[in-house]
Amino acid sequence: MMFQMDNSPSPSPTLASSLHLKKPPTKTNILLLENIAQTAVDALREQGFYVETMASIDKETLIKKIANFHAVGIRSKTDLTEDVLEHAKKLLCIGCFCIGTDRVDLDAAQRRGIPVFNSPYQNSRSVAELIIANIINLARQIGDRNKEMHNRIWNKTAKGCTEVRGKILGIVGYGHIGSQLSVLAEALGMDVKFYDVEDVMSLGNCKRVKTLDELLKISDFITLHVPETSQTKNLITDREISLMKKGSFLLNASRGSVVEIPALVEALKSGHLGGAYVDVFPSEPNGNTKDFHQELQGCPNTILSPHIGGSTTEAQDSIGREVANRFINYLETGSTTGSVNFPNVSLPYGVGTHRLLNIHKNTPGVLKAINNILSVYNVEGQVLLTKGSIGYLIVDVSVETSNTIKEEISKLPTSLKTRILY
């Protein structure tokens, strides 16, 4: 459902601070976990928000703390499940300072009127560069030679080592990371092919193949760049690995559920695969530890890293700025642009008005009930969109009538959250 009306002047929809909007007196508390970049902390504090940072937090402590915060930011270790969100009575929004949102129960957040924001593209270059580095490392067996040197073993050998020039790189998932990777790989002289379920345009000389099986059969290197979905769970099993060339290589920096680890271990130990690079695992610790066990440990020419694909200073700084700006735009203007579980809504600012936000259940008759209330007042701008179980309304009304309208809309049985911004 979509309804939009705008009678207001149309300045550019920038951050609320640039328009010098009068902020409500209530203090906004934001909790940032998992060492989120200082760029985010600085941006939020510059807007006058109270920001508390923590490196890590256990579930029991999180449940106690989250009740006092209006926004919370996480990366890839903290779970915001339904039982956690149940205690987050003041929570207005969630930020995933990373690509994935799988640590958040998106449906539970939506039902509670909490939009979730992420940064799907800012670390693409960092991941692509790491894959390029490990394609070369695998081709030259650098992982094994490095391990030997640390154990005082001098083993100078060229057996099984090759250049990557002229080799076929098969990319599974040709999104922002996959496409950037293809450009870098071509610069090294690689012949790049890709498979994607979506109809996407290829860059450079990269060519699409019709099926995953075809890509597996022809490639010297297979690299995975897919989201975590029911369709990608165990995408690579013993069947798929058996289709790969003998001596070829598998790289996974996408999600740990995509590859069936025992099948990969068997292929490495048997020599069917020449090596592997794995950055993500089916089960990962919630914090740094000196006791991490994984079946892949000890496999020949196998390079492992602790989920650091996007962990560069540049990527984290960019992610910090992007998600912090999503917070600021939502908290101060109501814009949900970039939200993964909410209708993406924004509205140009009115002059001399108050902005009212209403999140409500998406049921028949809601629009009629809201418009019945608004019909007797002067409305400067209005937009309403729905997604899933909820609808989201932004409306600009006169300063004199805003409190009355808020009270009337709040009383509707379908309303979940109603607030006045300014």
Specify whether 255 is catalytic.
Answer: yes
What is the total residue count of the chain?
A: 422
Residue type present at position 109: A
Q: Which residue has the tokens 């950055």?
A: 279
The H-or-E segment that residue 171 falls in is: strand 168-172
Structure-block tokens of residue 88: 């987050």
Hey, which residues does 385 pair with through a beta bridge?
A: 2, 392
Q: Which residue has the tokens 């379920």?
A: 197
Specify whether 307 is catalytic.
Answer: yes
How far is it, in rounded angstroms, from Cα 413 to Cα 305?
51
**Residue of 75, 125, 145, 307 marked catalytic:** 307
Instruction: Give backbone dihedrals phi and psi of 30, rounded to 5 degrees, phi first.
Output: -125, 130
How far is it, in rounded angstroms, from Cα 362 to Cα 416?
10
How far is it, in rounded angstroms, from Cα 263 to Cα 266?
5
How far is it, in rounded angstroms, from Cα 268 to Cα 324?
43
Provide the CA 131 distance to its chain's centre, in angstroms: 19
- 3-state DSSP call for residue 38? helix
How far is it, in rounded angstroms, from Cα 234 to Cα 273?
18
**Residue of 112, 145, 225, 255 marked catalytic:** 255
Catalytic residues: 255, 284, 307
